[in-house]
């Protein structure tokens, strides 16, 4: 397929991609960004496109995978920000979160809330905030990574609830 034919095919599929992106994101601006990112990836990897393949299916697959990867990246970043906020409170001499949390969280309140957690949730929660990896925690207690993640999730949810944060 010549460059012009390939690029023209991309343009012809834009309307379908717009609808699909909007159904994935439920946000017009994010949908537009997703379509642009899909086109960029398609252009960068056009040499891997087989002319006997349905271009629409190929583009939809690129879009779906891009959306999933962006979602996962965003989820990791949100989790990291929450952990950094909590860690900064632990490390602060004044006990007040220097990042500017919505609530005036104090070190003693957080420590008290953590101490109320059951040991099976408290210990993995403290270890993950000390920099241990999920696998290291799982190995230490001879439990699965899924169990470690579940216990940390439950600990975070209980802490958010007891400290006045929103549950997700």
Q: Which of 28, 33, 17 is closest to 70 using CA atoms? A: 33
**pLDDT 10s digits, 27-41:** 898 899 999 999 999
**pLDDT 10s digits, 46-91:** 888 888 889 999 999 999 999 988 876 765 555 555 555 555 555 5
Whether residue 93 is predicted with pLDDT greater than 60 in this model: the reply is no
Indicate if 18 and 34 belong to the same structural domain.
yes
**Strand locations in the chain (E):** none
Parent domain of 164: 106-168
Total domain count for the chain? 2
Give me the residues paired with residue 92 across strands: none
Indicate if 72 and 131 belong to the same structural domain.
no
Q: How far is CA 159 from CA 88, 121, 122, in A?
A: 16, 11, 10
Indicate if 85 and 122 belong to the same structural domain.
no
Whether residue 92 is predicted with pLDDT greater than 80 in this model: the reply is no
Indicate if 50 and 35 belong to the same structural domain.
yes
Indicate if 17 and 83 belong to the same structural domain.
yes
Question: Residue 69 sits in a domain of what CATH number?
Answer: 1.10.1740.10
Mean pLDDT, rounded, for 118-134: 88
Indicate if 144 and 79 belong to the same structural domain.
no
Cα–Cα distance measured from residue 160 to residue 150, given in angstroms and rounded to the nearest whole number: 15
Indicate if 33 and 94 belong to the same structural domain.
yes
Indicate if 60 and 116 belong to the same structural domain.
no
What pLDDT is stored for residue 100 in this prediction?
A: 52
Indicate if 157 and 112 belong to the same structural domain.
yes
Question: Residue 128 sits in a domain of what CATH number?
Answer: 1.10.10.10
What pLDDT is stored for residue 1 in this prediction?
A: 46
Indicate if 112 and 92 belong to the same structural domain.
no
Q: What is the pTM of this model?
A: 0.45
Give me the residues paired with residue 106 across strands: 96
């Amino acid at each position: 397929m010549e460059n012009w034919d390939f690029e023209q095919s991309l343009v012809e599929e834009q309307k379908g991609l717009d609808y699909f992106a909007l159904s994935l994101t439920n946000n017009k601006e994010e949908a537009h960004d997703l379509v642009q990112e899909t086109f960029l990836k398609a252009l960068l990897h056009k040499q891997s496109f087989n002319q006997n393949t349905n271009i629409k299916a190929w583009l939809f697959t690129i879009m779906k995978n891009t959306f999933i990867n962006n979602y996962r990246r965003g989820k990791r970043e949100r989790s990291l920000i929450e952990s950094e906020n909590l860690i900064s409170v632990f490390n602060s001499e004044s006990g007040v979160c220097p990042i500017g949390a919505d609530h005036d969280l104090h070190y003693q309140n957080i420590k008290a809330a953590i101490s109320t957690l059951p040991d099976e949730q408290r210990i993995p929660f403290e270890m993950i905030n000390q920099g241990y990896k999920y696998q290291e925690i799982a190995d230490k207690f001879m439990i699965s990574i899924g169990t470690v993640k579940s216990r940390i999730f439950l600990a975070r949810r209980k802490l958010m609830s007891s400290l006045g944060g929103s549950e997700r």
